[in-house]
Amino acid sequence: MSEKERAAALLEMVPDYKLGYVIAYLQGLTADEAADDAFCLDMYHEYLRDPERGDMVPLADVLKECGVSPDEL
């Protein structure tokens, strides 16, 4: 049995409500890395253009607010 045949046989046993997870995983495996990088870069530039993005918060302040010590990381 080939790997594709084995995958198809296993897919037959996946309940319908879990097929979304399988599809998302397969899409991730077959994604074009260059297209993914371009998408992420576009999202980053969109973030930079966002007038409501606000100021960056230092990690130390976030940790303090959450009650976490940097030593715990």
18-57 pLDDT, tens digit each: 999 999 998 888 878 888 889 899 999 999 999 888 888 8
Q: What is the DSSP string of the chain?
A: --HHHHHHHHHHTS-GGGHHHHHHHHHHHH--HHHHHHHHHHHHHHHHH-TT------HHHHHHHHT--GGG-
Residue 43 to residue 35: CA distance in whole angstroms: 12
Global pTM reads: 0.42
pLDDT level of residue 67 (50, 70, 90 thresholds): very high
pLDDT level of residue 16 (50, 70, 90 thresholds): very high
In this prediction, residue 66 carries a pLDDT of 93
In this prediction, residue 52 carries a pLDDT of 85
